[in-house]
Copies of this chain bind each other. A is one copy, B any other.
Amino acid sequence: MPLEIPEVVIDRLPIYRGLLSRIMDQGRTVISSHELGIELDVTPAQIRKDLSYFGRFGKQGKGYIVQDLLDELENILGLDRRWTAVVIGIGRLGRAVASYPGFEEEGFDIVACYDTSPDVIGTEINGIIVQSIDDLPNDLKTKSINIGIVTVSSEYAQKVTDLLINGGVTAILNYTPSRVQVPREVELRNINPVLFLQSMTYHLKKLFDEN
């Protein structure tokens, strides 16, 4: 397996994995790059190229063995183990994120939640008692915490991110519209819904201008 896989390919692997998982649930054992391409709306050549980074799973002209490919993808993505995450900032969004059922189902355990407000500290979400943000540095030292999920107000995003990174966290999911700076070795993903909307308005505008 080559060491350097392009980041865009890695970002597509969870999508392949989700699709293969659904295909397996349907009881199918083999699938062609052509069929995968139709499902994902990309060319079969792109599928073959993406998956070629991870070795040879297909039989020439027979397609991919679903189980083998799925096992390998889950192994590559580290989904064959569980990961721990903390949520910082328990407003409306933080509460929704901390109680999102999809995380646990997919191997991500929310193990702690933090806030600064005395009204929120001590309240419960999904069986977790919200702690003071002041507890975070010590918790990061004493507990195994893999991922930090940042749902504070924009103005505190960088400060909270720094706290997480100083405590050794190397994966940050930033829900704030704020652009935070992280060192090169830290993985950062931004969920900014405005960017999703803005990429659709290009098409909306074309549609409006045509009519």
Contact = CB atoms under 8 A, between A and B. Distances in A.
Interface of A: 10-11, 13-15, 17-18, 22, 76-79, 81, 83, 85, 91-93, 95-97, 99-100, 102-103, 106, 108, 146-147, 170-171, 173, 177, 179, 187, 189, 191-205, 207-208
A173 B200 contact: yes
A153 B201 CA distance: 26
A22 B154 CA distance: 15
Contact of A192 (B17, B102, B192, B198): B102
Please tell me how many copies of the chain the complex holds.
Answer: 2
A201 B77 contact: yes
Given A97-B193, A106-B194, 18 more contacts: A14-B194, A18-B179, A76-B202, A77-B199, A79-B198, A83-B204, A85-B197, A92-B92, A92-B95, A92-B99, A95-B96, A103-B194, A106-B197, A171-B204, A173-B193, A189-B196, A189-B199, A191-B191
Q: Which of A17, A93, A196, A207 has the most CB of B within 10 A?
A: A196
A23 B103 CA distance: 36
Specify which of A146, A198, A208 lies most central, judged by the most chain B CB atoms within 10 Å of its CB: A198
Contact of A200 (B95, B147, B197, B208): B147
A170 B97 contact: no
A201 B83 contact: yes
Given A189-B196, A193-B100, A203 B170 contact: yes
A74 to B, nearest CB: 10
A130 B17 CA distance: 37
A199 B10 contact: yes
